[in-house]
Amino acid sequence: MKAWAAALCTTLLVAIASAAAGADHRALLEKIDTDLFGLPAPGQLGKPLQLWATWYHVHVVDAIPDGFRLLGVGGQAISPPIPGRDWCLGALQGVIMIKASDGTKRTYTYETTAPKAEVACAAYFKKPASWTRAAGRSRFDVSKGPFGDGAGGFQVVPFRSVAVDTRLIPLGTVLYVPAARGVAITLPSGRKAVHDGYFFASDRGGGIRDNHIDVFAGNWPENPFPSFVSSTPQRPFEAYVVAEERVKPHLHRLHALD
């Protein structure tokens, strides 16, 4: 890598590292950015799974003087106030990054649903969907990972993590999606890469059932994989469970919170 490119990458990583006040995410960010997306194609493929996919991302919002704070599992306020609509959109995504008035940022991850609503999310949408009823009862925690936390002690990693129904796909499973191989992506550091087709089951979601998976895009605001992410079960794609030792340890290490 040329010196100027290395310097730019370092600057971007340090900027993102400030995204969690009170927590130093620099080491995790640097680990994530070592991923070159250059894993070899599987040596052999078994029977394919027929899956369909949606995608989710980190909802980023500025704090405001008067709004709604995210609440922890115990009901205590854990964030600066934000607009109600953004509160609800963050609950929908399950990961929200809030920029405070002093410029610091912190990421929060959905933890559970409480009996009592904090925000009436239906009031912020012309045609409220069914998710708005549960969204307002969401409870959060400060994320250990820079882009949010998954399940099973894993962090979520942009363009690598998928949320799954663990009855069908256990946490820690490596999936190979041929339709993702060769897709150009831009990583949070600004570095560009070509995807190798591998994903890691590091999260679960309340709306993820059966053969539905949810692909994590980090802070990327658009569908990163239109080649297979269609948001409809009527457009399934093929995916394969991969257990090769030349692949699985790399993806497990990327998602480990250490």
Q: 215-233, pLDDT tens digit by residue?
A: 999 999 899 999 999 999 9
**pLDDT surpassing 50 at residue 203:** yes
Kind and range of the H or E element at 92?
Answer: helix 84-93
> Model pTM greater than 0.75?
yes
Percentage of residues in the chain with pLDDT exceeding 70? 91
Sheet strands side by side (includes 138-142):
59-62, 95-99, 105-113, 138-142
Measure CA 126 to chain center: 27
**pLDDT surpassing 60 at residue 113:** yes
Per-residue pLDDT averaged across 165-191, rounded?
96
Q: What is the pLDDT of residue 207?
A: 84
Q: 5-52, pLDDT tens digit by residue?
A: 444 344 444 444 444 444 568 899 999 999 999 999 998 899 999 999
Place of tokens 């109600």: 84
**pLDDT surpassing 70 at residue 241:** yes
**pLDDT surpassing 70 at residue 100:** yes
Instruction: Give the whole-angstrom CA distance, residue 113 versus residue 115.
Output: 7
Question: Could you give the domains of the chain?
Answer: 37-56+153-255 (2.40.40), 59-142 (2.40.240.50)
Mean per-residue pLDDT over the chain, rounded: 90
pLDDT band per the 50, 70, 90 thresholds, residue 131: confident
Tokens of 235: 């457009």
**pLDDT surpassing 90 at residue 165:** yes
3-state secondary structure of 177: coil
Q: What is the pLDDT of residue 172?
A: 97
- One-letter amino acid for residue 47 of the chain: K
Q: What is the pLDDT of residue 18?
A: 44
Phi/psi of residue 141, nearest 5 degrees: -145, 160
Cα dihedral sign for 118, 257, 220, 169? negative
Q: Are strands 198-203 and 161-163 parallel, antiparallel or unpaired?
A: parallel
Per-residue pLDDT averaged across 132-138, rounded?
93
DSSP state of 121: G
Q: What is the pLDDT of residue 22?
A: 42
